[in-house]
Structure 1
Amino acid sequence: MTRRKDLAYCRIVRDGRVLFLRRAPGVFLAGRWELPGGTVEPGEPFEETAVREVAEETGLSVRVTGELSRDSWPDVAGRALEIHAFFYTAEENGEGDVVLNPGEHDDFAWLTPAEAADVDMAAHFRRLPAY
């Protein structure tokens, strides 16, 4: 039986640039860039997951402003797992400094879509409309 895993991410734009985080060494997909986000907890609304994960991973406070996209794919590690990702647009509640959780990410960058096209990221982020 195939299990399901839900993920929720936020696209945060500041001065025309999107916030990306680089996965830390030793974690799944280490070295790849991604939007802030993560796993939906049982019973947690997807939008709340996105806001919580942004706070945990970056220290930023955001509010969801809309849904950007949805995507699904089989687990890249070959497990009997189907991934469902929900991507939201978000605005900051005041402009703060990014403070990374070093257990998950080791760098961040505010990138234009052209700059983002040149970094290593998972396919589900590449499929997003204009990041």
Structure 2
Amino acid sequence: MTTHRPRVGAYGLCISDGQVLLTRFTPPDGTDGHWSLPGGGVEHGEDPLDAVVREVREETGYEVVVDRLLGVDSRTRRVTRDGAGSVELHGIGIFYRVRIAGGRLRHEVNGSSDLAAWFPVDEVPRLARATFVDVGLALERTEPLDGHVPPVPAGGLLRS
């Protein structure tokens, strides 16, 4: 049975001194993780701006301030859920430029990520990472007036 499911996420792009803040997503099945921007699902009734502040705090320990909306990414992909068949997931990612306002770096406890770390921006292409890391960096680099970058194809080190 095929179902359709939307997912809205808010993600924070934090760059300081040429380094970007990333978190490592750990799949529940124990397979190798990959790096991601801090962020995640917007809860029902939650403003995406509040969601990105909450998610960055939960995943990294940092209190952040949103400086700017960078843009929105929309894509669909088919995923297989154990016992639930195939699901067409419509992911809508809302990307914000954020800056550190307090707190200190720490790893998330009992969450979907297990590490938080700073990486030089020029090292990101060598990391196993979520596609939306590249989307966020492209939005930051190009600052498109319409808040949209062409789709970033998933492949190689990228994970959709």
TM over 0.5: yes
Count of residues in correspondence between the two structures: 130
1:83-105 superposed Cα distances (whole Å, 9 cap, x missing partner): 100110011113x3211113322
Aligned twin of 2:62:
60
Matched-pair contact (CA < 8 Å) for 2:108–2:116: no
User: What RMSD in Å do the two structures reach over aligned CA positions?
Assistant: 2.2
For the residues of structure 2 that align with 1:39 and 1:28, how far apart are their CA atoms? 21
State the TM-score, normalized to the length of structure 2: 0.71
Of structures 1 and 2, the larger Rg is shown by 2
Percent sequence identity over matched residues?
32
Cα 1:76–1:102, aligned 2, differ >3 Å: closer, same or farther?
farther
Q: CA deviation at 1:115?
A: 0.7
Aligned-pair CA distance for 1:26? 2.5
**Alignment partner, residue 125 of structure 2:** 117
Answer whether contact 1:23 1:29 (CA < 8 A) is retained.
no
Secondary structure of the equivalent of 1:61? strand
Gaps of 5+ in 1: none
5+ residue gaps, structure 2, are: 80-85, 142-160
- In 1, distance between residues paired with 2:30 and 2:50? 23
**TM-score computed with the length of structure 1 as normaliser:** 0.85
Q: Greater strand percent: which structure?
A: 2
